Amino acid sequence: MSRSSQTTNTRRKLIAFAPEIWQALALLAIDSGRSMQSLADEAFADLLRKYQRPTSLKEALRESARRLPANDDAPPPKRHGT
């Protein structure tokens, strides 16, 4: 992603990598024809999914609605004659 295509609400964070990890990531970026930013975006999205954390506002709202008791499944029907 080029600087001109970044939005104003992009946040930056400096992260240190071991030299071996950095080299492996650089080779992966070259081999896959993707940028380091693209690889990082995918890795962080996968990490958030792993821990069942929303990656967008839409997902966060959907998850918060699921936690409301009114949205729980109806109780199972009572069994007759037992």
Answer whether 0.85 is exceeded by the pTM: no
**Residue bearing tokens 């081999």:** 31
pLDDT at 12: 92
What single DSSP character describes residue 70? Answer: G
**Contact (Cβ atoms closer than 8 angstroms) between residue 19 and residue 33:** no
Name the band, by pLDDT with cuts 50, 70 and 90, for residue 70. Answer: low
Distance CA 38, CA 1 (A): 7
2-43 pLDDT tens trace: 555 556 788 999 999 999 999 999 999 999 999 999 999 999
Distance CA 53, CA 49 (A): 6
- The structural domains of the chain, with segments of one domain joined by +, span 36-69
Residues 6+ apart with CB under 8 A from 26: 36
